[in-house]
Amino acid sequence: MDSRLVQDSQMAVKKAADIFDKCLRFDKAKELMSQGLYPYFRVIESAQEPEIIINGRRMIMIGSNNYLGLTNHPKVKEAAIEAIKKYGTGCAGSRFLNGTLDIHVKLEEKLARFMRKEAALVFSTGFQVNLGVISALVGKDDIVIIDKMDHASIIDGCRLSFGDIRKFRHNDMNDLERVLKEYEAKDKLIVVDGVFSMEGDIASLPEIITLARKYGARVMVDDAHGIGVLGQSGRGTAEHFGLEDDVDLIMGTYSKSLASIGGFIAGSADVIHYIKHCARPLIFSASPPPASVASVSAALDIIENEPERREALWRNTKKMFNGFNELGFEVGPSQTPIIPIVVGENHNAFLMAMMLQEEGIFANVAVSPAVPNGKALIRTSYMATHTEEQLDKVLEAFKKVGKKLGFIN
Residues pairing with 340 in the sheet:
379
Is it the case that residue 383 has pLDDT exceeding 90?
A: yes
The pLDDT value recorded for residue 6 is 61
Any idea which of 183-192, 217-226, 303-312, 366-375 has the lowest mean pLDDT?
A: 366-375
The pLDDT value recorded for residue 11 is 60
Q: What is the DSSP letter of 10?
A: H
User: How far is residue 62's CA from residue 163's CA, in Å, rounded to a whole number?
Assistant: 39
Is it the case that residue 18 has pLDDT exceeding 60?
A: yes
Segment 294-325, tens digit of pLDDT: 999 999 999 999 999 999 999 999 999 999 99
Catalytic site residue from 117, 170, 240, 256: 256
The pLDDT value recorded for residue 372 is 87
Segment 149-198, tens digit of pLDDT: 999 999 999 999 999 999 999 999 999 999 999 999 999 999 999 999 99
- What is the b/e burial string over 74-96, where b = at least 16 CB atoms within 10 angstroms of the residue's CB? eebbebbeebeeebeeebeebbe
Q: Which amino acid is at 63?
A: G
| Over residues 371-378, mean pLDDT | 92
| Over residues 284-292, mean pLDDT | 97
Give yes or no: 225 in active site: yes
Is it the case that residue 4 has pLDDT exceeding 70?
A: no
Q: What is the mean pLDDT of the chain?
A: 95
C-alpha separations of 24 from 20, 27, 32, 175 in Å? 7, 8, 16, 41
The pLDDT value recorded for residue 1 is 55
Catalytic site residue from 124, 135, 197, 295: 197
Give yes or no: 197 in active site: yes
The pLDDT value recorded for residue 371 is 87
Confidence grade of residue 12 (pLDDT, cut at 50, 70, 90): low
User: How far is residue 387's CA from residue 390's CA, in Å, rounded to a whole number?
Assistant: 5
The DSSP result for 81-150, as a single string, is: HHHHHHH-S--SSBTTTT---HHHHHHHHHHHHHHTSSEEEEESSHHHHHHHHHHHH--TT-EEEEETT-
User: How far is residue 394's CA from residue 398's CA, in Å, rounded to a whole number?
Assistant: 6
**β-strands 330-331, 338-344 pairing:** antiparallel
50: cis peptide before it, omega within 30°?
A: no
Is it the case that residue 408 has pLDDT exceeding 70?
A: yes
- Model's pTM, two decimal places? 0.93
Catalytic site residue from 73, 117, 188, 225: 225
Strands (E), 309-382: 330-331, 338-344, 361-362, 364-366, 376-381
Is it the case that residue 13 has pLDDT exceeding 80?
A: no
Confidence grade of residue 391 (pLDDT, cut at 50, 70, 90): very high
Is it the case that residue 119 has pLDDT exceeding 80?
A: yes
How many Cα atoms are found within 13 Å in the side-chain-facing hemisphere of 34? 5
Segment 330-353, tens digit of pLDDT: 998 999 999 999 999 999 999 999
Give yes or no: 403 in active site: no
User: How far is residue 345's CA from residue 329's CA, in Å, rounded to a whole number?
Assistant: 15
| Over residues 81-102, mean pLDDT | 97
The pLDDT value recorded for residue 57 is 97
The pLDDT value recorded for residue 3 is 63
